[in-house]
């Protein structure tokens, strides 16, 4: 542990890595709450994969890769919605068809660029090599995402909880859906360096699910989820640096361990307390039964 702190004081690249992954922990944690409450975990996975061709195209055209990523991300989201609304194909199947197609196109585009190391880093992340420009763009995306969610908190709450009422009083629920998809693509791109495309879905849903097991209030869940995301990033980066492991993998596994702890020990939802409570109830009833027999 001391080694890690010493290194952190000493090496600028490690400081940048830590800051970037903490920011990613926050924004993934916040947006992840809405993803899981709207039952869109699979959609989150799909959109994060669909970013790949956009990133590749942006490289080729020499433009900022947020532009390309948002473009292919939203295009895929629209395609998914269009197929499931205009045929008998179910939504999950439509998601499967569209995101694999987008991802496959991305692989071909990147192969055309003849740069397999880039592909590896985009897929799996390499936070220790994060550049200052990437750190800054993560910060700006983070601020944009957090401000958007702060401003539209009420609308996101009601459209996630009761979309029929939201639509009835005039909220543009479809627009809100695609806006959320756009935020999701931004968050995915911001997370590329840290956890990579393949594992970003874990940062979206695991800390949010952990928080979901710990509270009954949405705003508490959002703060908790952000906090858990940050904690996962710090722990993950520590193990990544100390044992020379891929940062994306260690961060995700740290988040998973925190989830398992909540799953077992959450005061209200945890497996352990539930089992104890059920056992107590059963014991009580078995006593009262023998009492009757006497």
Partner 1 sequence: MTTALSVSKLFVSYNGNEALKDINFTIDEGKLVGIIGPNGAGKSTLLKVLLNLVNKDAGSVEILGKSIKEMKTRVAYVPQRSNIDWDFPITVMDTVLIGTYPKLGIFRRPKKEHKSLAMECLEKVGMTQFHNRQIGELSGGQQQRVFLARALAQKPDLYFLDEPFVGVDVTSEEMIVSILKELRNKGKTVVVVHHDLSKAKDYFNELILINKELIEHGIVEKVFQPEILNKAYTNQFTPIILEDVIL
Is 41 a binding residue for partner 1 by CB under 8 A? The answer is: no
Query: Of 94-102, 135-143, 209-217, 249-257, which segment contacts partner 1 by CB under 8 A?
Result: 209-217
What letter would DSSP give residue 128? G
How far apart, in whole angstroms, are the C-alpha atoms of residue 23 and residue 139?
7
Q: Are 258 and 232 in contact (CB under 8 A)?
A: yes
Query: Which member of 139, 167, 182, 234 binds partner 1 (CB under 8 A)?
Result: 167
CB of 224 to partner 1, least distance (A): 10
How far apart, in whole angstroms, are the C-alpha atoms of residue 85 and residue 74?
16
Q: Are 51 and 103 in contact (CB under 8 A)?
A: no
CB of 70 to partner 1, least distance (A): 23
What backbone phi and psi angles, to 5 degrees, belong to 162?
-145, 85
Which of residues 105 and 215 has its CB atom nearest to partner 1 in the complex?
A: 215
Is 160 a binding residue for partner 1 by CB under 8 A? The answer is: yes
Is 168 a binding residue for partner 1 by CB under 8 A? The answer is: yes
Query: Of 147-155, 191-199, 247-255, 280-288, which segment contacts partner 1 by CB under 8 A?
Result: 147-155
Q: Are 25 and 135 in contact (CB under 8 A)?
A: no
Which of residues 198 and 221 has its CB atom nearest to partner 1 in the complex?
A: 221
Is 165 a binding residue for partner 1 by CB under 8 A? The answer is: yes
Is 155 a binding residue for partner 1 by CB under 8 A? The answer is: yes
- Output 138-144 pairs: Cβ under 8 A, ≥24 positions apart: 138/20, 138/23, 138/24, 138/190, 138/193, 139/23, 141/27, 141/66, 141/186, 141/187, 141/189, 141/190, 142/23, 142/26, 142/27, 142/190, 144/186
Token digits of residue 164: 């029929």
Is 243 a binding residue for partner 1 by CB under 8 A? The answer is: no
What backbone phi and psi angles, to 5 degrees, belong to 11?
-100, 125
Query: Which member of 2, 117, 169, 292 binds partner 1 (CB under 8 A)?
Result: 169
Which of residues 154 and 285 has its CB atom nearest to partner 1 in the complex?
A: 154
Is 136 a binding residue for partner 1 by CB under 8 A? The answer is: no
How far apart, in whole angstroms, are the C-alpha atoms of residue 266 and residue 290?
33
Which of residues 140 and 161 has its CB atom nearest to partner 1 in the complex?
A: 161
How far apart, in whole angstroms, are the C-alpha atoms of residue 124 and residue 112?
20
Query: Which member of 10, 12, 62, 154 binds partner 1 (CB under 8 A)?
Result: 154
CB of 91 to partner 1, least distance (A): 16
Is 223 a binding residue for partner 1 by CB under 8 A? The answer is: no
Residues that bind partner 1 (CB under 8 A): 37, 151-152, 154-155, 157-158, 160-162, 164-165, 167-170, 212, 215-218, 220-221
């Amino acid at each position: 542990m001391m080694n890690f702190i010493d290194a952190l004081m000493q090496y600028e690249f490690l400081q940048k890595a830590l800051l970037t992954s903490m920011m990613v922990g926050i924004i993934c944690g916040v947006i992840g709450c809405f993803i899981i409450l709207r039952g869109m975990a699979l959609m989150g996975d799909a959109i994060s994969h669909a970013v790949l061709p956009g990133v590749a195209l942006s490289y080729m055209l020499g433009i900022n890769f947020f532009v390309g990523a948002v473009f292919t991300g939203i295009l895929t989201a629209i395609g998914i919605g269009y197929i499931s609304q205009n045929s008998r194909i179910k939504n999950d199947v439509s998601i499967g068809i569209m995101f694999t197609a987008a991802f496959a196109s991305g692989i071909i585009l990147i192969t055309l660029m003849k740069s397999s190391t880039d592909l590896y880093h985009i897929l799996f992340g390499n936070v220790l090599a994060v550049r200052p420009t990437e750190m800054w763009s993560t910060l700006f995306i983070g601020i944009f995402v957090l401000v958007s969610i702060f401003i539209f908190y009420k609308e996101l709450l009601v459209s996630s909880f009761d979309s029929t009422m939201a639509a009835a009083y005039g909220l543009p629920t479809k627009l809100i859906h695609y806006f959320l998809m756009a935020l999701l693509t931004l968050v995915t791109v911001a997370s590329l360096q840290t956890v990579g495309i393949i594992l970003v879905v874990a940062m979206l849903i695991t800390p949010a699910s952990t928080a979901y097991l710990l509270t009954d209030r949405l705003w508490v869940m959002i703060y908790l989820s952000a906090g858990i995301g940050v904690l996962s990033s710090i722990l993950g980066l520590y193990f990544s640096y100390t044992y020379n492991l891929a940062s994306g993998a260690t961060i995700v596994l740290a988040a998973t361990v925190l989830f398992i702890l909540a799953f077992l020990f959450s005061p209200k939802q945890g497996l352990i307390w539930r089992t104890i409570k059920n056992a107590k109830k059963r014991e009580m009833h078995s006593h009262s039964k023998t009492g009757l027999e006497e």
